[in-house]
Structure 1
Amino acid sequence: MNYREVDSTAEYVARLETGADWREEIESLADDVEADAGWFTAIGAVQDAEIWFYDQDDLEYYPVELDEPLEVASCAGNVALLNGERFAHTHAVLSRPDGEAVAGHLNEATVWAGEVHLRVFEEPLEREHDETTDLDLWL
C-alpha cells in the first residue's frame, strides 16, 4: 500500500456552467486555483454522459453512452498531475427518472446544473503508468 499524510491548504465551492463539460469544469477550477492535488465531491444534473467501465481482464476501458437527462446522485474524485497537466479522475452515480442508476468512471458529460466542493492539498500528487493494472495511478 502506498500512502501519505496530506495537509489541506484551501477549500472551494463552485457552480458548474450549464452546457460545459462536467470534468473539464472541475479541471478548469483546479487550474484557476493552481491545485496540483485535491479531492472533490459534486452533485447536480447532466444532459448526457459517457461513463467508462474498466475491464480488468482486457485492461481496457469500455464506454457506455447515455444520451438522456440524468441526475448526478453522487460524484467523487481527485485532482492530480498526469503528464504535467491537471487531471480530474471522476466517478459518478447517475440516475434516471425511474430511479435506475448507472455508474462508472465519468469521461464526459454536458452540465445542466452542477455544484462542486474541492479540497486542495498542499503537496502535488502525480500519476504514473502502472504496468500491473495498465492504469495511470498515484506514485
Structure 2
Amino acid sequence: MHYREVATSREFVVRLETGGDWRAQLEDLAAREDLEAAWFTGLGAVQDAEVWFYDQDRQEYDAVTFDEPLEVAACVGNVADLDGEPFAHTHVVLSRPSGQALAGHLDAATVWAGEMYVREFEEPLVREHDETTDLDLWL
C-alpha cells in the first residue's frame, strides 16, 4: 500500500459548460488554476458518453459508447500530473430513464449540465507507469 498525508488548500465549485467535454473541462480547470493534485466529485447530465472498463487479464481498456441522454448520478476522481499535463482520472455512474445504471472510467462525455466540487492538495500527485497493472498510477 502506498499512502501519505496530504494537506488541502483551495476549493472550487464548478459549473461545466453545456456542449463541452466533461473530463476535458476538468483538465482545463486544472491547467488554468495550476492544480497539480486534487480530488473531485460531481453530478449532472450528459448527452452521450464513452466509458472504459479495464480488462485485468489483457491489461487493456474496452470502450463502450452511449449515444443517448444520461443522468450523472455520481462522478468522482482525482487530478494528477501525467507526462507533464493535468490528467483527470474520472469514474462515473450514469443512469438511463429506466433507472438502469452504467458505470466505469469516463473517457469523454458531452455535458448537458454538470456541477463539480474540486479540492486541491498542496502536494503534487504524479502518475507513473506501474509494471504490475500496466496502468499509470500516482505514487
Partners of 2:135 and 2:60 lie apart in 1 by: 9
In structure 1, the gaps of 5 or more residues are: none
- Structure 1 residue 100 corresponds to structure 2 residue 100: yes
Compute the displacement of 1:37 (Å).
0.1
Aligned residue pairs total: 139
Compute the displacement of 1:32 (Å).
1.7
Q: What is the letter of the counterpart of residue 25 of structure 1? A: Q
- Structure 1 residue 5 corresponds to structure 2 residue 8: no
The SS at the match of 2:128 is strand
What does 1:10-49 correspond to in 2, within 5 Å? 10-49=10-49
Partners of 1:46 and 1:29 lie apart in 2 by: 19
Compute the displacement of 1:44 (Å).
0.3
Compute the displacement of 1:68 (Å).
0.2
Compute the displacement of 1:78 (Å).
0.0
What does 1:83-94 correspond to in 2, within 5 Å? 83-94=83-94
TM-score (norm 1): 0.99
TM-score (norm 2): 0.99
CA root-mean-square deviation: 0.4
The SS at the match of 1:54 is strand
The SS at the match of 2:61 is strand
Partner of 1:52: 52
Describe the superposition over 1:4-43 as per-residue Cα deviations: whole angstroms up to 9, x where unpaired.
0000011000100000000001111111211100100010
Compute the displacement of 1:112 (Å).
0.2
Report % sequence identity.
68
